[in-house]
Amino acid sequence: MNYALLKEVVSHVMANFGVIPSDFVDHKNTDSLMGPTYLLPEKIVFEEEGKPYTGMVWGCQFSMAQTEVKVILGECTTDPKFSEFAMVIQSKNTPAYGLYLCYNELSNHPLDSEPDLSVSLNGKDWMDCTTFLQATFLAAMEQVRDLQAPWNKCSDYKELHKMLLSFMNYHDNKNR
């Protein structure tokens, strides 16, 4: 797998949602998914090396090509020097895509960022995206940015929240 490309794809998508800084996104004209408007009451609770952590969860939804797209983001930071995020994106009646990134400005090595882009047909079983699926997903996310569809706070997101937890578990098990 080309981890340098994977890191760039995941970073690009997260930057489009205002999760991480970017030179190509004008944050003055682009909402950040991490804004108070999109904050959800749910939390993610996980354990790292025997220590419990709690992260905030944000969610938005928008319409694109006559379908509803939902996005949920969980903050998974365990070290204050490196922000970590897990994200799940799903259009209605399509596979869900899970993204993971440890935002690490101090390293140029892609594996330090733990990039992940996986797909699930049922929201429980995940598999790595091939380069073709990565490219297809990135093209769809570029359309989202170009169309500038207005975001609303996510409603009816319980299944997406379960998918986020499932994806985080998958990512954690894969990277042990």
Q: Is 82 exposed, middle or buried (0-12, 13-18, 19+ CB in 10 A)?
A: middle
Q: Output the pLDDT for position 174.
A: 86
Write the pLDDT tens digit of every residue in 56-85: 999 999 987 788 999 999 999 888 888 999
d(C-alpha 162, C-alpha 124), whole Å: 8
Instruction: Spell out the domain ranges in the chain.
Output: 3-174
CA 61 from centroid of its chain's CA atoms: 13
Residue spans of the chain under pLDDT 50: none
Q: Output the pLDDT for position 171.
A: 93
pTM for the predicted model, two decimal places: 0.92
Which of these, 84, 81, 85, 86, lies nearest to 106 by C-alpha position? 81
What lies within 8 Å, CB to CB, of 99 at 6+ separation is: 10, 13, 14, 85, 86, 87, 88, 89, 116, 117
